[in-house]
Chain A
Amino acid sequence: MSENLQRLTLAALAHVALIAAWYLFVRLGDVPQFVMPSPGATLNALLEPEYGWWTNAAVTGTEIFAGYFLALVIGVGLALAFTWSRTLESFFMPLLVSLNMIPKVALGPLIIVWFKYGILPNSIMAFSICVFPILLTTARGLREIEPELLDLVRSLKGSRWQLFSKVQLPGALPYIFSGMKVAAILAVAGAVVGEFLGSDKGLGYLMLQVQVTLDTPAMFMAVLLITLLGMLLYGFVLALERLLVVKDARLE
């Protein structure tokens, strides 16, 4: 336990050290605010009411979470469908691997053409960028079943459903979570890129607005809030993993 505490202390220390270094760099280097604001100036940007921080953060958060949740449902759902039908898997899997090669950011202008702009297209952007890692790792996890374990269940004449629910799905959970963690980071990037490309709300949109007036502290604050949204999602996934996956089975 004290070892845990030590690790936590070191982690907190590293963060504090970075902020201190940032502060000292700006202060001692006499860096102009429009190049790099101090931590204090960045915090002060929150006091500007016309930036609508909370509304914009809520919009970006909604896009991230909606896109991510959709990707989770569809990614895991498709992977599950593949375990039930080999033909389905052989038909769709190579196609999905090809589709995965499309740079999702390049789809942005098309998504705007199809869905106008707003929360929906940006959620779709987040979705498109994070559905593949979830789908591919889940499909892999469901395939990774020891042949002898299969023999064991078969020798007991276990049903396909029993094999799935007792062995395959719980065995795939660590893989699902590893895909979910990668996707959590991508979802944030997807939503923000969507906002850059075309949008009238959200933290990404706000960044483009304040860029014009060279309000760098506000840009810093926006990045910080986007990061916090990402951490919130990531932390949620991590907590869920701790709850559902036994320590030894977790994939690092």
Chain B
Amino acid sequence: MTQPFIQLRGVKKIYRSGRAEHLAISDATFDVMPGDLVSLVGPSGCGKSTLLKILAGLHGHDGGEVRIGSAEHAFDPSRDVGMVFQAPLLLKWRRILENVLLPAEILGLPMGEARERAKALLALVGLGGNEDKYPYELSGGMQQRAAIARALVHDPKLVLMDEPFGALDALTREKMNLELLRIWKESGKTIVFVTHGISEAVFLGSRVVVLTAGPARMADNFAIDLPYPRTLDTKTHERFGEYTRRIYRLLGME
């Protein structure tokens, strides 16, 4: 029996500004198994980004328990988290390869090895041959691919993605979804993927956690029983429709 890689039990987060308190998350309870791709889906203000920051160790929490790592998957919060945001956040003055190497530099990893790894990762995300370009020479989708390579360069066990394709056009987004599934399978990482796209959440996730806003709370958590590799045909699968309807209902849109 494998141990969950992440265990959240009744996690609560309160933001205080002066006297006012704002409940950002109440009672988030779910597990993430090693190698899972878990989608956190919900409307703006449901606390999904906050939850991601708690997992990244950027925020504390005000109740409940967060446990990451297990005996066979030890977790070091500085080395084992890779992050991808909505904006690529590439440094304009660095070439793509140097951008990808940033985490390795910060962690003080041996640079020779890191350089080889960065090149391999750029090939993995489909950016082979673009190592020496500057970010402005790449399209938005390509910049986001570079950001994904950067999140993987220090070989983290956990990759946290905060609406990584939210700023891309619909077509590029579809393409990046397929790419992400391929990269996920090839790298074997555990991924927590925040989105407000319901079909994106179902299409990508091996598990979906649904959060609602006002009040912020966890509404559902279920496994997505659709076979990988998923293709565009997956979206016409009967169960795909059932899962998306289930989320729409939870979010009060039906």
Contact = CB atoms under 8 A, between A and B. Distances in A.
Given A151-B58, A166-B102, A166-B105, 13 more contacts: A146-B89, A148-B86, A149-B89, A151-B53, A152-B89, A156-B78, A156-B103, A157-B77, A246-B136, A247-B134, A248-B134, A248-B135, A248-B136
B83 A151 contact: yes
Interface in A126-158: 146, 148-149, 151-158
Nearest to A157: B78
B81 interface: yes
Interface of B: 53, 56-58, 77-78, 81, 83, 85-87, 89, 91-93, 102-103, 105-107, 134-136, 154
Nearest to A159: B106
A-B complex: 9 closest residue pairs judged by Cβ atoms: A248-B136, A157-B78, A249-B92, A158-B106, A148-B85, A155-B56, A246-B93, A156-B106, A170-B93
A219 to B, nearest CB: 45
A171 B85 contact: no
Interface of A: 146, 148-149, 151-158, 162, 166-167, 170-171, 173, 245-249
A148 B87 contact: yes
B246 to A, nearest CB: 31
A158 B78 CA distance: 9
A248 B135 CA distance: 9
A173 B93 contact: yes
A144 to B, nearest CB: 12
Contacts of A153: 106
14 contacts: A146-B87, A148-B85, A148-B87, A151-B83, A154-B58, A155-B56, A155-B83, A156-B78, A157-B77, A171-B92, A245-B93, A246-B136, A248-B92, A248-B134
A120 to B, nearest CB: 38
A247 B103 contact: no
A155 B57 contact: yes
Most A-side CB within 10 Å, residue of B89, B134, B135, B136: B89
A153 B85 CA distance: 13
A154 B58 CA distance: 7
A92 to B, nearest CB: 28
A235 B198 CA distance: 55
B58 A155 contact: yes
Contacts of A156: 78, 81, 103, 106-107, 154
B107 A152 contact: no
Contacts of B81: 155-156
Contacts of A167: 91
A103 to B, nearest CB: 37
Contact of A151 (B56, B93, B136): B56
A166 B106 contact: yes
Most B-side CB within 10 Å, residue of A152, A157, A158, A171: A152
Contact of A162 (B83, B86, B106, B154): B106
Contacts of A155: 56-58, 78, 81, 83
Contacts of B58: 151, 154-155
Nearest to B103: A156
A171 B136 CA distance: 15
Contacts of A162: 105-106
B142 to A, nearest CB: 14
